[in-house]
Amino acid sequence: MTDTKSNTKKAEPSKVWSAKKYTLKTALLEFQKLAVSAKKDGKNPHFSSNYSKLESVIEAVNQGNQFGLFFTQEIDYIYTGHVSTKSDVIVVTTVRHEHDEETFVSKLPIILSSANMENPQKVGSAITYAKRYTLQSVYGLPSEDDDGNEASKPNVNITKPKPRGEDDGL
C-alpha cells in the first residue's frame, strides 16, 4: 500500500505487528519487503545525472520506523599511524531496533586531499556523501549511482590496425 502524496509505503493493516515480537533482523526483513527506494531528486550538473539526496534517503529509511527500526550516524576517527598520530575521519551509520541490542553498522572513510581536508565545504560535502551511501548500504536500499557509473567506465582506446599491403616486405 503506497501513499501517493508522500511516496510512503506502509504495511497492510492485517500485517501490522507489535515491534516487541521482532528483532533487528526480522524488522529489517519486513522493511525490505516493502521494496522502498529513495527518490532521485538531486541533480549533478557536472555528470548530467540524478541522485538521491540525503534527505530522500532518510525519508525512505524512516519508513522502517513502523517496524521499530531507527538509525544513528556519527563522525569518528580511526588512528592509522602511531608515530605521527595520523587519523582518518569516517562516517559510521548504525541501524538498531527498539527491542534488540544487535546492530548493523556501515562505515566509510572520508577520503580527501590534505588541502581539501582544510576546506569545510569539501569536508561537509564528503560527509554528506558518506552518510547517504552508508545509510543506503546498511538498509539495503537500491541505488543507481549515475555519476559513479560514468566515472567507473574504463577508458578504452581502440586503435585500428594499419592496413597491410600486398607486399608485407617480408
Model's pTM, two decimal places? Answer: 0.71
CA proximity to 78, closest of 122, 109, 116, 113: 109
| Mean pLDDT value across residues 124-147 | 86
**Averaged pLDDT score across all residues of the chain:** 81
- Give the C-alpha separation, 40 to 57, whole Å: 9
Inform me whether the pLDDT recorded for 144 exceeds 80.
no
pLDDT value, residue 164: 58
Amino acid at 19: A
CA proximity to 31, closest of 79, 117, 91, 97: 97
Report residue 46's pLDDT band, with 50, 70 and 90 as the boundaries: confident
C-alpha cell at 83: 608515530
pLDDT value, residue 80: 73
Taken as a whole, the chain contains a residue count of 170
- Give the C-alpha separation, 36 to 69, whole Å: 14
Q: What is the DSSP letter of 81?
A: E
Q: Which of 5-14, 18-27, 34-43, 53-62 has the lowest mean pLDDT?
A: 5-14
Residue 93: Cβ within 10 Å count: 24
Task: Please spell the DSSP secondary structure of 88-145, one letter per residue.
Answer: EEEEEEEEEETTEEEEEEEEEE----HHHHT-HHHHHHHHHHHHHHHHHHHHT-----
pLDDT value, residue 19: 43
